[in-house]
Structure 1
């Protein structure tokens, strides 16, 4: 993995940033897999307690985001996306480290996530210390009717 030759700024997102989040999702999530959320799903989730999102920006431009939540002493990474042209430059790792730190600060002792079985991001999660703990058969339903398994991962937060 190479790193970006420019500084990656990690900032906490505001509701006014949801337009950028939706634009990143539209570009980052292939519609074949049915992973992207609608704007109303994002807004609904952000209205819940313990939910936050983080943006990765380069030169003031959002290039990635992560959406997460904590409930009691557990956290969950709900979404993480990077613009395709900006992948493999350390942005996903920076966002993931930020989510882990934020979850710890919010009292989480464990962080969970779920990812499509053949998603390239699995390598990122494994390198950050996440371990596979389960599988959901035929969880994702793409717009073309195809189904894909989801794998669940967890990490103890030190």
Structure 2
């Protein structure tokens, strides 16, 4: 059995990509936690200054994205998602490298993010130089009413 790896193509996204982004987001985020944004939330923030969307495609199909907001010399990774069928293929790493390069190009000196404490994505962030900066107790609420801590991470660019 052989595994063929396909190149991850990175490109800038636009508001017109909102439907495809929403499909990836709904597949990527576990509904139990209620973390997925709505299509309207994504479209709304994309029209704001300093916000950009990066898309990841494999063989032309959207398989992941990152949504980032920069203000002066700081940025926040708002969302990053990869279709579960395409995980462990370098998509998230490619998105992280692209996001950090874009931040450097925009003069960003520090990047922040927030994540649910038990989210496996913490390993991705650590692999890209992010370190824990803080904690927000009981920040996230699941649809069941269960609460989860949020951890904030940051790294210099």
- The superposition leaves residues 76-100 of structure 1 with CA deviations (integer Å, 9 ceiling, x where unpaired) of 1000000111111111000011011
Match of residue 86 from structure 1: 86
Q: Is the 8 A contact 1:4 1:90 kept in 2?
A: no
Q: Deviating runs (4+, > 4 A) in structure 1?
A: none
- The superposition leaves residues 13-69 of structure 1 with CA deviations (integer Å, 9 ceiling, x where unpaired) of 011111011001111001111110011111111111000111100010000000001
Q: TM-score with structure 1 length normalisation?
A: 0.95
- Displacement of 1:136 in angstroms is 0.9
Instruction: Summarize the alignment of residues 108-119 of structure 1 with structure 2, pairs less than 5 Å apart.
Output: 108-119=108-119
Q: Which runs of 5+ in 2 are unaligned?
A: none
Q: TM-score with structure 2 length normalisation?
A: 0.95
Match of residue 132 from structure 1: 132
Q: Which runs of 5+ in 1 are unaligned?
A: none
Where relative contact order (Cα < 8 A, 6+ residues apart) is larger, the structure is 1
Match of residue 12 from structure 1: 12
Query: Relative to structure 2, which stretch is displaced further, 142-151 or 130-139?
Result: 142-151
Instruction: Summarize the alignment of residues 9-158 of structure 1 with structure 2, pairs less than 5 Å apart.
Output: 9-157=9-157
Q: Is the 8 A contact 2:111 2:156 kept in 1?
A: yes
Give the Cα separation in 2 of the matches to 1:97 and 1:4.
22
